[in-house]
A and B are shown apart, each in its own frame.
Chain A
Amino acid sequence: EAQVTQNPRYLITVTGKKLTVTCSQNMNHEYMSWYRQDPGLGLRQIYYSMNVEVTDKGDVPEGYKVSRKEKRNFPLILESPSPNQTSLYFCASSPGLAGGTDTQYFGPGTRLTVL
């Protein structure tokens, strides 16, 4: 089944404790992206990647890191989480220009709480 998976789905942590949220897609998509969703603000793009080793900042990259060492995986890293990073996080992928479509497929979401 074609899908985007995220782990963990729920996470409660404390300020300053490094964490990684994994994202994986099995559709051989070139393009992957991370968003955070906060009430009243919609989805805001954190980072995106066109392919392996090609990444760029979205609108709200501060406090986050990403890596794209393999085409299928795009982990989101919070080196020193703070309470203002408490949010619902979505990973998404799309075939990209080479695939002929911009349609994004979203993962199920990760609800992160930083105490």
Chain B
Amino acid sequence: GENVEQHPSTLSVQEGDSAVIKCTYSDSASNYFPWYKQELGKRPQLIIDIRSNVGEKKDQRIAVTLNKTAKHFSLHITETQPEDSAVYFCAASNWDNYGQNFVFGPGTRLSVLP
């Protein structure tokens, strides 16, 4: 089955700097790669996603890149702000006859220091 690794597990950056979180996956059939942000005590919220037919996607300060050959994808946050502090999860997904199988990475705790 699919296996998703995520690095680093913790990341501290100064406000205004960039943050990069990297994930690798094992199943070449995976075709959808979302990123979720989870604040303490809250539910995961989708922040950006990318499909396997796209190499890069950007939404304001957030971007995701995908390298299908190497089976890795990365989240880039520019001009970080204290409110970006949270746990970020990547996931890899594909559809089968019964629905959509999601495998999540273990998460990265991002701290943005003022």
Contact = CB atoms under 8 A, between A and B. Distances in A.
Interface of A: 31, 33, 35, 40-45, 48-50, 54-56, 58-59, 90, 94, 96-97, 102-104, 106-109
In which size bucket is the chain B interface? 20 to 34
B34 A48 contact: no
A106 B36 CA distance: 11
Given A33-B100, A43-B89, A103 B46 contact: yes
A48 B107 contact: no
Contacts of A59: 1, 103
B43 A102 contact: no
Q: In terms of DSSP, what is the predominant structure of the interface of chain A?
A: strand
A46 to B, nearest CB: 11
14 contacts: A31-B99, A33-B99, A40-B106, A41-B106, A43-B91, A44-B104, A50-B98, A50-B99, A90-B44, A102-B32, A103-B34, A103-B49, A106-B43, A108-B43
Contact of B105 (A33, A42, A56): A42
Interface in B85-99: 89, 91, 93, 95-99
B17 to A, nearest CB: 25
Contacts of B100: 31, 33, 48, 50, 94, 96, 102
For the complex of A and B, 9 pairs with smallest distance between CB atoms: A56-B98, A50-B99, A106-B43, A42-B104, A43-B104, A48-B99, A42-B106, A102-B32, A42-B107
Contact of A55 (B6, B43, B44, B98): B98
Nearest to A57: B98
Most buried by B among A42, A44, A104, A106: A42
Nearest to B46: A103
B43 A33 contact: no
B101 A45 contact: yes
Contacts of B99: 31, 33, 48-50, 54-56, 96
Contacts of A33: 99-100, 102
A56 B44 contact: no
Given A43-B104, A54-B98, A58-B101, 20 more contacts: A35-B102, A35-B104, A40-B106, A42-B105, A42-B106, A43-B102, A45-B101, A48-B98, A48-B101, A48-B102, A50-B98, A54-B99, A55-B98, A56-B98, A58-B102, A90-B43, A96-B99, A102-B32, A102-B34, A109-B43
